[in-house]
Structure 1
């Protein structure tokens, strides 16, 4: 059995994202433009979260469901960043051992960002996040 690296794991999640997008009739290509498409996909997930009285009648995704989707779509987001800007996958030493992408000694957290996007909606937009990273403002 081979030891999988975090890069292998996240590349696999990213491929899962490509498969899910394909099932939705969407083609993703690891381009910067595809981040806008990813933002739209994540908005659909956000809109699908039951709120208010609807929560009583509609099965909500479990926390585990949302975490899994965050890893899948976060894998895709991170791979777009890695391929277009650079970086290396790993486990954070600074943030509760989270999955991170390190760019020039700065950790960013694509799966955590996707999780926020799913939960909070447009206020945590992915395209703006990507632009900030591209400009070198990793905060």
Structure 2
């Protein structure tokens, strides 16, 4: 997920001219990027013929990119590690336990 977060930094800079610096304040920029991506999706039936929706693979990639960045901001601020959740067979952020 750290690699996805690093890719998000590059993507934000290269595509939107936004700076993601892993600070909690940078999540406003991340939200703006997500909103712009959402606005770019076709909304009407006719627009689907002219501008197709992103594929499932593209959505999956973008979710990992943006989610990885969000998770890394949280991990760096609160501590924790990325782990596989055996119950859900998914990668997730496990926050550090308070002492």
The two structures have a TM-score, normalised by structure 1, of 0.64
Q: Aligned partners of 1:79 and 1:90: how far apart in 2?
A: 13
What's 2:25 paired with? 33
Unpaired runs of 5+ residues, structure 2, are: none
Question: 1:12-27 to 2 correspondence within 5 Å?
Answer: 12-23=3-14, 24-27=16-19
> What secondary structure is seen at the aligned counterpart in 2 of 1:91?
strand
Task: List, as ranges, runs of 4+ consecutive aligned residues in structure 1 with deviation greater than 3 Å.
Answer: none
In 1, are the aligned partners of 2:42 and 2:48 still within 8 Å (CA)? Answer: yes
1:94 positional shift? 2.7
Q: Distance in 1 between matches of 2:90 and 2:61?
A: 14
Structure 1 unaligned segments of length 5 or more: list them: 1-9, 106-139
Larger Rg: 2
Corresponding residue for residue 59 of structure 2: 66
Give me the CA root mean square deviation. Answer: 1.4
Count of residue correspondences = 95
